[in-house]
Structure 1
Amino acid sequence: MNRLTQGVVLLLFGGAILRASFTDLYLRYVKEGLRPFLIATGLLLVAAAVMTIWYSWRSPDESSAEHDASPHSSSGHSAVDDDGHGHGEHGPRVGWLLLLPVLGLLLVAPPALGSYAANQAGSVVAAPVGDSDYPPLPEGPAVELSMIDYASRALFDAGRSLEGRDLKLVGFITTAPDGAPMLARIVLSCCAADGRPIKIGLSGRAPIDVPADTWVEITGVYTDQTAKDPVNNVDMAYLEVKSWQEVPQPKQPYA
């Protein structure tokens, strides 16, 4: 891979990152707050690519003058500097592997992590808020909660702040080992590589025979039923389902 090719690959790589950053595609890889860093990285790669291409396209006279001044020019071309065909320096061939992520970003739009990833990893342990009480839920006929918030209140507050309220949760359907449907969503610390699922069991009018990875909005009420996640043996909260409906995948699929 000569310097010109290196510059073109860098340009494609930086352009692919910028393309993903200026659309919603980046949300399938990282958290929303990392967008400025992706844009900055893409711009730096494009700038480096432009400088590399410009350097490789300098005038032949300038390149020739530099070559004549080289200590190797009096005794012949160095094997590292020239391959005998006028192509100049070549980088390691492993550099061609950079084309793989470029093609992936430009040509393939992978789906967000879903039920397969949720079934392979143990549920996130919902954390208690500490010594303070959970704040009361906002007023309204049905309160929309994140799955982590619901699980935390259900497991560590014994549902005191949830009782008597209709609750709405949004997630995708996954299947427990016994075939029962569960509601899940992937939680990111930084990027999809560290994604872990939060899982909630469903009782009552749970969506039966719904394909895995179907996104649903569930309206239900708190139940004190719990179960153990078979993957990592942590407690999982349950929700008693009153109604549900299929919904499109959210713009931000991760929690």
Structure 2
Amino acid sequence: MLLFGGTIVKVSLTGVYLRYVKEGLRPFLVVAGLILVAAAVMTLWHEWRKPSASKQHDHGHDDGHGHAHEPWVGWLMMLPALALLLMAPPALGSYAAGQAGTISASEISDAPPLPPGDVVPLSLLEYASRSLYDGGKSLAGRKVRLVGFITPGADGKPMLARIIMSCCAADGRPIKVGLAGDVPSAAPDTWVEVVGRYTATTSKDPVNDADIPYLEVASWTQTATPEKPYQ
């Protein structure tokens, strides 16, 4: 319990928790971890205060030689904590994106103008909404910058994706954007930053038959995994 609670506190303070839950849940994780640590410390203190004879009477069964046997299965509780400390699973990526259908973009009919600038940064979800439901009017003649990871499309060609979650990684769903033009030649799960322009090309996601917008890529660069991999 002490190890498990300490692990929760550690991943919460180092930012690793962002691979599994939304940023706003951090305080709850810290409190939960501290409660586990406090409970473990109180349990140890209580056990150490017991007289030796009382401990032997309370714990397991004596083997006839004065040794009490503890149930070893309790030590299995250490495994998930050790796994999280030593080999923390990465954030959801291309495999998860390939298994789930793209999120349907929010319907808009009159999107506000893009802010000034040579290249406008947009989330994949905002680009999809403007592209599919605004007819690309607010994107016409503008360059946009999208950041996401590479995932193979149904035809094997690379697409750009990002996982969107409501609460935790268990409810994460991908938003996908098809790529045309200077398509990135990068392996799946590689994070890239692409700059391009709106194109009216669309396709259907074979998983849920939702529309997938496309971007005409002008340039792209590989980038590091963002601190907040989910949107």
Q: How does 1:68-147 map to 2 (within 5 A)?
A: 82-84=60-62, 93=73, 95-129=74-108, 133-147=110-124
What SS does the corresponding residue of 1:168 show, helix, strand or coil? strand
- Confirm whether residue 231 of structure 1 aligns to residue 211 of structure 2: no
TM-score after normalising by structure 1: 0.82
Rg larger in structure: 1
Unaligned runs of 5+ in 1: 1-9, 68-76
TM superposition shift of 1:217: 0.6
Q: Secondary structure at the match of 1:140?
A: coil
Q: Give the number of aligned pairs.
A: 229
| Cα deviation, residue 110, structure 1 | 2.0
Question: Is 1:18 the counterpart of 2:34 in the alignment?
Answer: no
**Cα deviation code 1:21-63 (max 9, x no counterpart):** 11021111111111111111111110111111111111418x7
Q: Secondary structure in 2 aligned to 1:179? A: coil
Give the secondary-structure state (helix, strand or coil) at the position aligned to 1:190: coil
Deviations 1:91-148 (Å, cap 9, x if unpaired)?
793x44422211111111222211111111111111225xx73222111111000001
Q: Root-mean-square deviation (CA), in Å?
A: 2.3
Partner Cα distance (1:15, 1:156) in 2: 47
Q: Where do 1:1-255 residues align within 5 Å?
A: 10-60=1-51, 64=54, 82-84=60-62, 93=73, 95-129=74-108, 133-207=110-184, 209-255=185-231
Compared CA separation, residues 88 and 45, structure 1 to 2 (3 A): farther
Structure 2 unmatched runs, 5+: none
User: TM-score with structure 2 length normalisation?
Assistant: 0.90
Alpha-carbon distance between aligned partners in 2 of 1:134 and 1:87, rounded to the nearest angstrom: 75
Q: Structure 1 87/229 Cα, relative in aligned 2: closer, same or farther at 3 Å?
A: farther
